[in-house]
Amino acid sequence: MRADSWVQLLTEPALIASLYDSPPELSACDLFYVHLDERADSVTLGFDTSHLPSHPRPEWQEKPFNAFEFHLQFESVTELRVAGWDAPAQKNILMSAREAGGVKLSASAPGSLLEFAADRVRVARTRTYLASSAL
C-alpha cells in the first residue's frame, strides 16, 4: 500500500489530490490536534507538514508560507480506544479501508495510542502559513 493512499479513503479525495502531485505521508506529518466530539460521534485530527502543496490555491500565494495544515474529520466513529498521549507530535499513522466499509485509523508512538473506526472521513480545513524557523 502506498504511503499516500490515505487520500483515496477520503469522501472527497479530489480536494487533496488537486493540491499535491504526491501528498505527504500521514506519519511524516505532526499530529498537533485531536478533538473527540461525543455529541456528533466524530474525531477531528489536525496535521501540520512542511511538505508543501505542489499546486497551492491562488489566495495562498498572496503571502509567503512554509507550512501546510489540514484537518481530517472522521464521522460516525466507533471502537474508540485511547491509551496515553505522550510526545512527540509525530506518530505512526495508519489509515486503511475496513471490509465492512468506512475506515480504520491508528496513531501510535511510545506512550501513545489512538485508534478508532469511522464511516467516513473528510477534509474539514486547510491552510498555509509562515512557520517560525527558530526552534
Would the pLDDT of 134 be above 60? no
Q: Which of 132, 6, 36, 122 is nearest to 71 (CA)?
A: 122
The domains of the chain are located at 5-80+118-129
Nearest alpha carbon to residue 70 among 106, 41, 100, 31: 31
What was the pLDDT predicted at 108?
A: 94
Residue 135 binned pLDDT confidence (cut-offs 50, 70, 90):
very low
Q: Cβ(13)–Cβ(50) under 8 Å?
A: no
Average pLDDT, the chain: 92
| pLDDT at res. 132 | 82
Confidence of residue 3 (pLDDT cuts 50, 70, 90): low
The neighbouring-strand residues paired with 102 are none
The predicted pLDDT at position 4 comes to: 67
Per-residue pLDDT reduced to its tens digit, 57-103:
999 989 999 999 999 999 999 999 999 888 777 789 999 999 999 99
pLDDT tens per residue across span 6-46: 999 999 999 999 999 999 999 999 999 999 998 889 999 99
Judge whether 73 and 11 are in contact, CB under 8 Å: no
Q: Tell me what the mean pLDDT of segment 127-133 comes to.
A: 88
Q: Which three cell numbers stand for residue 33?
A: 490536534
